[in-house]
Amino acid sequence: MKHVLVVEDDPQNAMLFRKLLERRGGFKVTVSESAEEILRLTGERDVDLVLMDVSLSNTRQAGQILSGVELCRLIKDRPSSAGIPVLLATAHAMRGDAETLLGESGADDYVAKPILDHEAFMRRVNSMLQEAA
C-alpha cells in the first residue's frame, strides 16, 4: 500500500486530502505539521509521496517557522529523501506562481487549492507515484 504524507496546517483541508487519498486512492495517509516527523519519515523513505501545503503556520525546526517551500527544499536537498515526489498544494494560484514555487522549492508538481476536481487531483497523484516507481 502506498503511503502519502500530507503536510497541511488547515484541519479542513487536511481532512479533505485524507478522505480523498484513503477512499479514492486506497492509500495509507499520515497528516503531520511536525518538522521532525516529516523529516524522519522522508529520511527513512517511509513515504511514497508528500503533499505539501506552501503556507504553513505551525511547522518549526530549531524554533523557526518553516514554510512548505523551505521544508520541501530540506527534503529535496537530502540524498536519502531527494527522490520522493513532492506535490505542492497552495491557494497562491496567480499566473507565474507555479513556476516560482516549483523553482524555489524543488517540488515535482503543483496543485491549486481548493481542490474542486477530485478525479483530476487523484490522476495527478497516481501519475506522480507511477513515475517515481
pTM (2 d.p.): 0.93
pLDDT of res. 94: 59
pLDDT band at 96 (very low <50, low <70, confident <90, very high): low
Using CA atoms, how far apart are residues 28 and 65, in angstroms rounded to an integer?
Answer: 27
C-alpha cell at 59: 511547522
- Could you give the CA distance from residue 83 to residue 103 in angstroms, rounded to a whole number? 16
- Condensed to tens digits (0 to 9), the pLDDT of residues 101-126 reads 777 789 999 898 899 999 999 999 99
Of all helices (H) and strands (E), which one includes residue 123?
A: helix 118-132
Q: What class, spelled out in words, does domain 3-132 have in CATH?
A: alpha beta
